Structure formats: structure tokens, C-alpha cells
Chains A and B, each alone.
Chain A
Amino acid sequence: MSSWLGTVLWLVGAAFDLVGCIGLVRLPDVYNRLQAGTKCVTLGTCLILLGTALLADCPACSAKAAMCLLFVLVTAPTAAHALARGAKVSGVPLWEGSVVDEWDATVDRGGERS
């Protein structure tokens, strides 16, 4: 039962990874690529790790895979946030088809860091 479920989770996770990477290639600017990449690859990798936790036959491996899952879930959005701000601060323009940009240069740079 758990090996069957683990296999399904692996395949679904890998499919999400592939979709995320297709988005990384197809979408037009850094911010859209970050959206597709971060969301799909984070969920895909989390599903793969969950499948690993179910398929592993030693409890130590399951525990490590679960810790790794939590870690990826917390750090991936933080890394995406840092990259997006880095790209915006260094002046990468939005795609010309973008409809609105409420960023202004006077944003308080000494503000909250997360």
C-alpha cells in the first residue's frame, strides 16, 4: 500500500518538476520565471521527498526525508523572495506586456528584512 502510494507521489512530483522547468524556459521575464519555477518545483520536490519517506525501509531515512521536506518548504519561498528583490533592486525591467508596476525607487531600503 505505502509503496504504491510512494510511487504515485514520485511520478506526480516529477511531472510538476518538469512543468516548472518548462515554465522557466517559456515565460517572458525573471519574475514570471521565478513564479513558475518556485511554485512547481517546490511542490514537485516536496512530493518526491514525501514519496521517499513512504518508500524508505529504514525509519532514519524517513525522518531525514521529512526534515528535508520541511526545510525545502520553508527556504524555497525565502530564496525566491531574495532573488526577486535582488532582480528588482538591480534594475531588471518587467516584461513589456505587464499591466501595472507600483514599485517606486523611494521604497525604504532600510526596512524589514525577511
Chain B
Amino acid sequence: MLAAAMLIILGSSAVLCLYRIGRGPTTPDRMVGIDILGVLVVGFASVACILSGRDFVINIALAWALLSFVGTLALAKHLEGKGFDE
């Protein structure tokens, strides 16, 4: 019951994020979607750790938090380097 509720709420959040990533309209909009989706996945992995009963899954949350942060910084740097007019 709890598992189903968490899965539905977090899953629909992720779908909304994916809508923003797919729809745009500008490149920074997509990057914001990717950044938010990364933070969502961290929460989802920690939920999966408890629900599946496997302790190592929490490591995925840690690694994802680190990599998603570095990736977002790289995207933002890339954004500063190039003009907006495609």
C-alpha cells in the first residue's frame, strides 16, 4: 500500500519532469528538468533501498546525488559559453 502510493506519486512527478524536458521550449528549460529529475531519482533510490530491503541500494542515491550535481554544473558552464540564438 505504502509502496504503491510512493511509486505513483514519485512516478507522476518524474513524468511531469520528462514533459518539461521534452517540451522545452528553450535549452535552459530542458536543463532545469534534467536537474530536478536527478534530485527526484535520489529520493526514489532511497525509497527503493527500504522497500526492496537491500542495503546497498542507498549507495546508488549517494552516487547519483554526486554525479547529478557535477553534470548540472557542466551543463550550466556550457550554457554560459554559447549564445542563446541557436
State if A and B touch, Cβ cutoff 8 Å. Answer: yes
- Which one of B14, B59, B66, B78 contacts A71 once the chains associate, using CB atoms below 8 Å? B66
A55 at the interface (CB under 8 A from B): yes
Dominant secondary structure at the A interface:
helix
Residues of B within 8 A of A56 (CB): 49-50, 55, 58
User: In the complex, which range does the number of interface residues on chain B fall in?
Assistant: 35 or more
Question: How many A-B contacts are there with CB distance less than 8 Å?
Answer: 159
Could you tell me which B residues sit within 8 Å of A by CB distance? 2, 5-6, 9-10, 12-14, 16-17, 19-20, 26-29, 31-33, 35-36, 39-40, 42-43, 46-47, 49-50, 55, 58-59, 61-62, 65-66, 69, 72-73, 75-80, 82-85
Contact A25 B50 (CB under 8 A): no
